[in-house]
Homo-oligomer: A and B are copies of this chain.
């Protein structure tokens, strides 16, 4: 008999459901992205930019994870694409079960790309797979270049790390080479892309990254 701790049991049950979600997405040929960051790093801005940049090429849907409010989902909804709002109340991360329920309510036959915006948190979302194909971490420059050292798991698991708000670099103390070195020490496979959702700088590289993954 294998005895699981509460934490192991939760994670094991989550992994089973994540596998089901992944199978379902694959059956429909949908690429799913799990987008994670601190509060206010710019996840919603990036999603809105991505919809504007790619909605003529791909059929996109969004799942919005928030503790409370529908502010982000309302913004996405204005683009006329399918969006599901999940309010987690006191839970600080999404899990595979709640994402599975969201999938029940999306038109899976008519999608190429699903972007899941996780709850703003650099800790627990990294532990819970949702069934996604790629984990994308967003770090905004005002948060500081020490974040890989202080929140290592998140950066270890990333397929891509986007450094947002590079337009603020002249006004803050952010050592880009220390940051890039910190990420590479944890995870030499992650792609690193510098962007500004405000000015649009670097978004072409992000769109190319996504397009290459969708094409696979």
Contacts and interface: CB of A to CB of B under 8 A. Distances in A.
Interface stretch (A49-57, A107-115, A142-150): A142-150
List the number of copies, as a whole number: 2
Contact of A153 (B38, B90, B144, B165): B90
B38 A120 contact: yes
Interface string A120-151: 11111001000000000000101110110111
A38 B71 CA distance: 19
Pick the most buried of A66, A67, A165, A198: most chain B CB atoms within 10 A of its CB.
A67
A4 interface: no
Given A38-B143, A92-B124, 9 more contacts: A38-B120, A40-B144, A68-B152, A71-B146, A71-B149, A90-B124, A92-B123, A120-B150, A173-B198
Interface of A: 6, 38-40, 66-69, 71-72, 90, 92, 119-124, 127, 140, 142-144, 146-147, 149-153, 165, 167-168, 171-173, 198
27 contacts: A38-B39, A38-B120, A39-B122, A39-B147, A39-B151, A40-B143, A40-B144, A40-B147, A66-B150, A67-B150, A67-B153, A68-B152, A69-B146, A69-B150, A71-B146, A71-B149, A71-B150, A90-B123, A90-B127, A92-B92, A92-B121, A120-B122, A120-B150, A121-B121, A121-B122, A142-B142, A171-B171
